[in-house]
Chains A and B, each alone.
Chain A
């Protein structure tokens, strides 16, 4: 046999093997009595750069599913019974293309009834083309950039309020502090932002407010940086060269930790310091100790929100996962899964069109998020208030804004040592 013939034969064997290996039987269904289980799937970053957060999402989804299954499952009106939920989770390795492929697999191989979303913005952007293509309802608690929801996708919903709103919430708080004389007016801001849709929204929010209220704000530096950076020293030197009195950064957790370490090493000090949605995380406190004191953050959730539902969630979480802290990375995906199950109950079936319609009109009042209210806008994204927190010495975190949720007063300006 000639060499090239042998090579061709080998390639053919491999192709045949591959096809056999991936083929699997279709999911059995019982038409009259309804399905034996409701299949819900997600791809999460369980390894790679976002693995730390991916672990929170997995734990939260599993808790929500366990909770509903302990009650017998999701009540589906058309079948007059409760049906248990089966959760399928894959690891997308923090890679957008892998994430998209896994959602495709969930759609056409696992035949899911609905998707739960992944984390973070870039992965959510890549994966949301699948629910749109297959018209499968998708709810996420890990993508906040407005870009995700401005593509006209009809089955995509997100419980994270936009990053522009996050910036506005911080501005509202800053204006309150300016009125009390705790911050200078105008606040000269050095704005540094991760070069993602997330970061773009942050700087867009701050720019819009600066334009609207020039007497309150002045942007003296506006610089982007690459996600998952290792050395922010040159960027911080640019910050140092300005006369800014506020350091406004939008960063993911790993960048927040690296940047704040280098910020302190560079001897920088500002009257107001924020990393956008990052600040109170235990991982940052563990890594940096007292260097995270007096950092402000606007987040979608905090365990100190004075609300009975939040306290109940805190207890449940502590009991289920005593070693994982209660952070927004836990609360939002939990509430995401709960929202989907409520939508299925309201739809009365797992029919994809009906569940999507139920999500579009959903109105949940007893949730754990600030304001307690879940309702999606026409584009599928939710608008909800943020809570502004401040890290204090001794590992304390207080909510300083809005007044209705506050658990302490802001220490401002940031003390110089």
Chain B
């Protein structure tokens, strides 16, 4: 009950923010990015976190969604209709690459996804008649910043809601089994290849929809900006920072990632010596070494410590 109330208050807060602060353009822009990255990280987490299949090529799906929105909007489609179309195209593309890629396991799968991401970028770069090649595609105009904000919030909420539902569903348990021990999952009757393919399909669809919001905001898509390896790396970093395999971890990671980046990029000292990237590097190293469950793991640990101290005190009394 408390959870629902807390969630309702927050969602309401985000919903009324543009109404109470209509001129806070910069804050709206940052929150837009936070929601967008939250949706992107949550999408990656369905495959990388829930299923344990770490992909370094997920920018491919974001790019397909972004290009779909840019090209369909240019063809006269209403912007809202291009988002699910982009998601669907990205999901169909996942069916093409998923089955062969899932024949590989662990680090071999991860390496293969780097190749898939790079191959997709090269296809976009060289298919000039469709994608504009290196010149990319420019969208004519973006909706007002408030509309963009609500679109991004909506996509983020839908993605997190879907992820929460998946995690608690029978399908989610199957994914957890695949992540824990694929062989044991097979003996329990889980078809691991189908489960992984389904997880990739859902993840790709969500990311394709987020790609549409990306195109709407950036107004320019090019192979390097959307399919780039650095985008794929960002998608991995955010869930790791927040808490991989959890529902709210990727959202927390996206919030930290966006806020830190905004602050670090604007800091003249850090920017002068390129130390902003080092801060991310140190944060990532610290999390991987000391708390692989991410910032949510640290948060859990602190709460438990506080709770056990309270219990000890009450026993003494």
Smallest Cβ distance from B198 to chain A, in angstroms?
Answer: 23
Interface string of A26-66 (1 = CB under 8 A from B): 00000000000000000000110000000000000000000
Does B266 make an interface contact (CB < 8 A)? Answer: yes
Give the contact stretch, choosing among B88-96, B128-136, B180-188, B189-197: B128-136
Interface string of B225-269 (1 = CB under 8 A from A): 100101100000000001100111101100110110011011000
Task: Please state if A7 and B134 are interface contacts (CB–CB under 8 Å).
Answer: no
Given that A19-B27, A96-B224 are known contacts, is A7 also in contact with B299, CB under 8 Å in the complex? yes
Give the contact stretch, choosing among A192-200, A266-274, A293-301, A307-315: A192-200
Cross-chain contact of B296 among A10, A24, A105, A197 (Cβ < 8 A):
A10
Does B7 make an interface contact (CB < 8 A)? Answer: yes
Q: Restricting to A178-196, which residues have a CB under 8 Å from any CB of B?
A: 195-196
Q: How far is the CA of A19 from the CA of B29 in the complex (A)?
A: 11
Task: Please state if A200 and B135 are interface contacts (CB–CB under 8 Å).
Answer: yes
Q: Restricting to B202-237, which residues have a CB under 8 Å from any CB of A?
A: 218-220, 222, 224-225, 228, 230-231
Q: How far is the CA of A105 from the CA of B27 in the complex (A)?
A: 10
Task: Please state if A1 and B30 are interface contacts (CB–CB under 8 Å).
Answer: no
Residues of B within 8 Å of A324, CB to CB, are none
Smallest Cβ distance from A226 to chain B, in angstroms?
Answer: 8
Task: Please state if A21 and B263 are interface contacts (CB–CB under 8 Å).
Answer: yes
Q: Restricting to B17-62, which residues have a CB under 8 Å from any CB of A?
A: 24-27, 29-31, 33-34
Lowest 7 CB-CB distances: which A-B pairs, in order? A18-B259, A96-B225, A14-B255, A7-B248, A129-B219, A108-B25, A109-B26
Task: Please state if A47 and B274 are interface contacts (CB–CB under 8 Å).
Answer: yes
Residues of A within 8 Å of B258, CB to CB, are 18
Task: Please state if B3 and A126 are interface contacts (CB–CB under 8 Å).
Answer: no
Does A122 make an interface contact (CB < 8 A)? Answer: yes
Does A169 make an interface contact (CB < 8 A)? Answer: no
Interface string of B4-15 (1 = CB under 8 A from A): 001100100000
Cross-chain contact of B134 among A93, A105, A133, A197 (Cβ < 8 A):
A197
Given that A14-B256, A22-B262 are known contacts, is A122 also in contact with B29, CB under 8 Å in the complex? no
Q: How far is the CA of A227 from the CA of B133 in the complex (A)?
A: 13
Given that A7-B247, A145-B135 are known contacts, is A102 also in contact with B6, CB under 8 Å in the complex? no
Q: How far is the CA of A199 from the CA of B222 in the complex (A)?
A: 15
**Contacts A22-B30, A126-B220, A200-B133 known; 12 new A-B pairs at CB < 8 A:** A2-B3, A5-B3, A7-B299, A10-B252, A10-B299, A18-B255, A90-B266, A95-B228, A104-B29, A108-B26, A129-B218, A199-B134
Cross-chain contact of A3 among B2, B24, B219, B300 (Cβ < 8 A):
B300
Task: Please state if B219 and A11 are interface contacts (CB–CB under 8 Å).
Answer: no
Does B138 make an interface contact (CB < 8 A)? Answer: yes
10 A-B pairs in the complex with CB atoms less than 8 angstroms apart: A2-B3, A12-B6, A18-B258, A23-B24, A95-B228, A98-B265, A101-B33, A125-B136, A125-B138, A226-B125
Residue of A nearest to B253 (CB): A14
Task: Please state if A10 and B142 are interface contacts (CB–CB under 8 Å).
Answer: no
Does B271 make an interface contact (CB < 8 A)? Answer: yes
Task: Please state if A11 and B248 are interface contacts (CB–CB under 8 Å).
Answer: yes
Task: Please state if B125 and A195 are interface contacts (CB–CB under 8 Å).
Answer: yes
Task: Please state if B135 and A125 are interface contacts (CB–CB under 8 Å).
Answer: yes
Task: Please state if A91 and B265 are interface contacts (CB–CB under 8 Å).
Answer: yes
Most buried by B among A10, A46, A93: A10
Smallest Cβ distance from B89 to chain A, in angstroms?
Answer: 21
Q: How far is the CA of A4 from the CA of B3 in the complex (A)?
A: 8
Task: Please state if A125 and B222 are interface contacts (CB–CB under 8 Å).
Answer: yes
Task: Please state if B220 and A102 are interface contacts (CB–CB under 8 Å).
Answer: no
Residues of B within 8 Å of A147, CB to CB, are 135
Given that A8-B7, A11-B251 are known contacts, is A126 also in contact with B225, CB under 8 Å in the complex? yes
Q: How far is the CA of A160 from the CA of B175 in the complex (A)?
A: 55
Does A15 make an interface contact (CB < 8 A)? Answer: yes
Smallest Cβ distance from B121 to chain A, in angstroms?
Answer: 10
Cross-chain contact of A14 among B7, B26, B138, B252 (Cβ < 8 A):
B252
Task: Please state if A129 and B220 are interface contacts (CB–CB under 8 Å).
Answer: yes
Given that A145-B135, A147-B135 are known contacts, is A11 also in contact with B252, CB under 8 Å in the complex? yes
Residue of A nearest to B141 (CB): A133
Residues of B within 8 Å of A18, CB to CB, are 30, 34, 255-256, 258-259, 262
Residues of B within 8 Å of A3, CB to CB, are 300
Residues of A within 8 Å of B6, CB to CB, are 5, 8-9, 12
Most buried by A among B29, B134, B252: B134
Does B285 make an interface contact (CB < 8 A)? Answer: no
Given that A97-B218, A129-B220, A195-B126 are known contacts, is A122 also in contact with B134, CB under 8 Å in the complex? yes
Does A151 make an interface contact (CB < 8 A)? Answer: yes
Task: Please state if A90 and B271 are interface contacts (CB–CB under 8 Å).
Answer: yes
Task: Please state if B262 and A21 are interface contacts (CB–CB under 8 Å).
Answer: yes
Q: How far is the CA of A199 from the CA of B135 in the complex (A)?
A: 10
Task: Please state if A46 and B243 are interface contacts (CB–CB under 8 Å).
Answer: no
Smallest Cβ distance from A301 to chain B, in angstroms?
Answer: 25
Smallest Cβ distance from A337 to chain B, in angstroms?
Answer: 19
Interface string of A315-330 (1 = CB under 8 A from B): 0000000000000000
Task: Please state if A7 and B133 are interface contacts (CB–CB under 8 Å).
Answer: no
Q: How far is the CA of A15 from the CA of B220 in the complex (A)?
A: 27
Does A6 make an interface contact (CB < 8 A)? Answer: yes
Task: Please state if B300 and A6 are interface contacts (CB–CB under 8 Å).
Answer: yes
Does B104 make an interface contact (CB < 8 A)? Answer: no
Q: How far is the CA of A11 from the CA of B259 in the complex (A)?
A: 13
Q: How far is the CA of A3 from the CA of B245 in the complex (A)?
A: 13
Smallest Cβ distance from A364 to chain B, in angstroms?
Answer: 29
Task: Please state if A195 and B133 are interface contacts (CB–CB under 8 Å).
Answer: yes
Residues of B within 8 Å of A90, CB to CB, are 265-266, 271
Residues of B within 8 Å of A23, CB to CB, are 24, 27
Does B303 make an interface contact (CB < 8 A)? Answer: yes
Residues of A within 8 Å of B299, CB to CB, are 6-7, 10
